Amino acid sequence: MGLDLGSKRIGVAVSDELGWTAQGVTVIKRDQSSSWLSQLDDLMDQYQVAKLVVGLPRNMDGSIGARGIDCQEIAEELKRRYQLPVELWDERLSTTAVERTLIAADVSRKKRKTVIDQMAASWILQGYLDAQGGK
């Protein structure tokens, strides 16, 4: 399962059983309560997740800023919570690339806002899967 962790929304994507393709499945609204974690619990069960891939936002120079540190902390929390491997994956420009794709496809601004996080999660997970060579 791939996660694009934002401050307000979390995009979620899953792979096929062979680990070749990523598909966006939903967006979870992230708030200060832990209700988003219970929604993630349900998805983890539903898709029988064996590994999490969390997008790690880096600055263009490769350094990690405040958002990246937040993602690292959440990744550690998820590792403890689910007792599963959690991989951090460089997500630089993933949201920008997805937005450009949606603009090129003439998707309205309103519709882009509803799908961009889910598509970014799919982009992150697909990059990870491609680097693994379908393993």
Judge if pTM exceeds 0.85: yes
Which residue, 135, 108, 83, 93, is CA-closest to 4? 93
User: Which residues, other chains included, contact 91 with Cβ-Cβ below 8 Å and sequence gap of 6+?
Assistant: 4, 55, 56, 57, 58, 120, 123, 124
| Model pLDDT, residue 43 | 97
Q: What is the pLDDT of residues 28-58, one digit of tens each?
A: 998 777 789 999 999 999 999 999 999 999 8
| Model pLDDT, residue 68 | 93
Q: Which CATH superfamily is domain 2-132 in?
A: YqgF/RNase H-like domain (3.30.420.140)
pLDDT mean values, one per 10 residues, the chain (135 residues): 93 93 94 85 97 92 90 96 96 75 81 80 93 73
| Model pLDDT, residue 51 | 97
For the chain, give every domain's residue range.
Answer: 2-132
Average pLDDT, the chain: 89
| Model pLDDT, residue 40 | 96
Percentage helix, strand, coil for the chain under 3-state DSSP, each rounded to 5: 50, 20, 30
| Model pLDDT, residue 22 | 95
